Amino acid sequence: MPISDNASGAIRAATAMSLLGCSTGVTAAFAGYPLAGGQTLRYLLASLILLPLARREGPLRPRLTGRELTRLICLAGSGLYAFNLLLIAALHRSDPAVVGSVVGCTPLLLAVLGPLLAGRRPQLRLLAAAGVVVAGAAVTQGFGPGDALGFAYALGTLACEAAFSLLAVPLLPRLGPVRVSTYVTVLAVPMFAVTALAMDGTAAVRMPSGPELVALLYLATLLTCGAFLLWYGALERLGADRAGLFAGLVPVTAAVSGAVTGTGALRSGELVGAVLVGVGVCVGVRASTEQGGRRARAGRSDQVAGREESTSSRHCPVAASQQDHVGSPM
């Protein structure tokens, strides 16, 4: 039995955000590698995987328009390149809990901006659900010390995280998740490569150690290829506002993975935060599903009314002609 787009999108979004949350320990193992050089290797390896996948769907067509190329460059520059640099800068100035709590506001930001950019009014129930998710993420992360500059870097990271979704939404109907993921990954490689050469010169790339190699493979395959494809597939099915709710799973899965691997322990606050995130996600998805059902029923009613009007017109062509004449300004 095929599952609905809502269910498929929810599964994809939850899996993508869980992969991101579970990557915290892996990222720590890669922290000693030169930043820009490591990201260059990560996206280069991911590009080598994604390009054959994109070509399996046929030649890389349709050809990109100038507007699409500009949007893809902005997407790679903000959602991949600037996000990583701002995140590192924020972590150098502020406690990770502060940064995580700020970036954890992504669901609320997407719940507001997603509908507005699509020409719709944000749903109050979805906004409330996003607020619950953000509160749960904040409780899970906790709070810590930081300064104004670190907070500003964290806000920039939040903006880049939202741009990763919002800039992709208009591209997905024509290009699809595979090609959008491929294009942005390929475009990120020269951005990080130039930065690596400028920052570290010949020391930008070195032979990784065993743990670093494992971390690099995880970041390139599961977190870049896998999570990108899953997330953009979720955006295509749910939209940015609904899919954004699942970003609240990142701190929850990070805490759970830390407890499972022995690098951390679950605290009562993290359990409370996990419950709040779960409630917010369920309420938001249910609200959107109910509204979608009402729209579908309204659409079916309009179709029935249209068929009845058409039938009436066929039985009374003179009346139909008079009605058309009155309704026409010419």
pLDDT for residue 146: 62
End-to-end CA, the chain: 52
- Model-wide pTM > 0.85: no
pLDDT for residue 141: 61
* CA–CA dist 128, 296 (Å, integer): 24
pLDDT for residue 124: 80
Q: Where are the domains of the chain?
A: 5-327
Helix 5-21 to helix 249-261 angle (10° resolution) is: 50
pLDDT for residue 302: 42
Is residue 161 within 8 Å of 75, Cβ to Cβ? no
| SS (HEC) of the chain | CCCCHHHHHHHHHHHHHHHHHCCHHHHHHCCCCCHHHHHHHHHHHHHHHHHHHHHHCCCCCCCCCHHHHHHHHHHHHHHHHHHHHHHHHHHHHCCHHHHHHHHCCHHHHHHHHHHHHCCCCCCHHHHHHHHHHHHHHHHHHCCCCCCHHHHHHHHHHHHHHHHHHHCCCCCHHHHHHHHHHHHHHHHHHHHHHHHHHHHHHHHHCCCCCHHHHHHHHHHHHHHHHHHHHHHHHHHHHHHHHHHHHHHHHHHHHHHHHHHHHCCCCCCHHHHHHHHHHHHHHHHHHHHHHHHHHHHHHHHHHHHHHHHHHHHHHHHCHHHHHHHHHHHCCC
pLDDT for residue 104: 75
The rounded Cα 210 to chain-centroid distance in angstroms is 31
pLDDT per residue of the chain (330 residues) written in tens, 0 to 9: 678 888 899 899 999 988 888 887 777 778 889 989 999 999 999 999 999 999 887 666 568 899 999 999 999 999 999 998 898 888 787 766 667 777 778 888 888 888 888 888 888 877 787 787 777 766 766 655 667 788 888 889 889 999 999 999 999 999 999 999 999 999 999 999 999 999 989 899 999 999 899 999 999 999 999 999 999 999 999 999 888 888 888 777 777 776 776 656 667 766 776 677 777 777 776 765 555 444 434 433 443 344 344 444 334 433 333 333 334 344
